[in-house]
Amino acid sequence: MSLARYRYIVVEGPIGAGKTSLTRKLAERLGADTLLENAGDNPFLPRFYQEPRRYALPTQLHFLFDRTRQLRDLAQGDLFRVGTVSDFLIDKDMLFARLNLEDDEFELYQKVYVDLAPQAPTPDLVIYLQAPVETLQARVNRRGIDYERGMDANYLQRLVNSYSTFFHRYESAPLLIVNTANLNFAQSEADFELLVERIGKMRGPREFFSRAA
């Protein structure tokens, strides 16, 4: 199944959905470059999970600066030489900002965003990974990052709801919504091949993919 028509793919979803693992696998299959948000490089993130209100703004700003730098480099380079698969969509930054920031902080963040956010290329395809909160939390716990283990289930539910609302309204690029509750692309080659086949069959602007238990 050829995916040659997809030169710029974005994989998105809440924490624990498996977006970075899938991004790497798709890039390998396509012979494409990866564009990763590198959450582990954000020095404020561990402190955010301990004191969300105190560290929400610097955490968001660090992510914004890093993502815009990468997208600026992408826009200046030859995106279409080998293709790119990314694990973040710059459009969704406002989702986290609205969820985590106080009103005055959010107002400031909006001003910085408008000044910084580049005109990113429109993806040929966005893959939105969904899963129940219980599944996401179990995956987060299994990957063993210390500062993530105490993640509040209520926060994760609010994040899931915010993603659902965002992508319900998203129309900027073709969208494949994938329910990953019974799919594991990182560990199952069969699951990954099913997804590749499904991507190759994409025809409409918004389609769904899932598998029964």
Residue 5's pLDDT band (cuts 50, 70, 90):
confident
pLDDT number for residue 169:
93
Domain membership of residue 142 (yes or no) is yes
Backbone angles phi, psi at 117, to 5 degrees: -60, 125
Domain-located, residue 38: yes
Residue 123 lies in a domain: yes
Whether the predicted pLDDT of 148 surpasses 80: no
Query: What token pair was written down for 181?
Result: 């509750």
Which amino acid makes up residue 152? D
Number of domains in the chain: 1
Note down the domain range covering 40. 8-209
Who's near 191: CB < 8 A, 6+ residues apart?
A: 183, 184, 185, 211
Give the mean pLDDT of the chain.
89
Q: How far is CA 43 from the centre of its chain?
A: 19
- For the record, the structure tokens of 103 come out as 């009103």
CB of 130 within 8 A of CB of 180? Answer: yes
Q: For 93-118, how does the pLDDT look when each residue is reduced to its tens digit (9 = 90+)?
A: 899 999 999 999 999 999 999 888 76
Residue 79 has pLDDT above 70, yes or no: no
Owner of token pair 């199952």: 188
Residue 198 included in any domain: yes
From the centroid of its chain, how far is CA 140?
15
Element (H, E) at 110: helix 103-116
Any domain includes 77: yes
Domain annotation covers residue 1: no
pLDDT digits (tens, 9 = 90+) for 153-175: 898 999 999 999 999 999 999 99
pTM attached to this predicted model: 0.92
pLDDT in tens, 6-60: 889 999 999 989 999 999 999 999 999 999 988 889 999 999 988 999 999 999 9
Band of the pLDDT at 73, cuts 50, 70, 90?
Answer: confident
Residue 2 lies in a domain: no
Write the CATH number for 51. 3.40.50.300
Q: What is the pLDDT of residue 88?
A: 94
Whether 3 is covered by a domain: the verdict is no
Q: How confident is the model at residue 206 (pLDDT cuts 50, 70, 90)?
A: very high
Closest CA to 14 of 134, 146, 172: 134
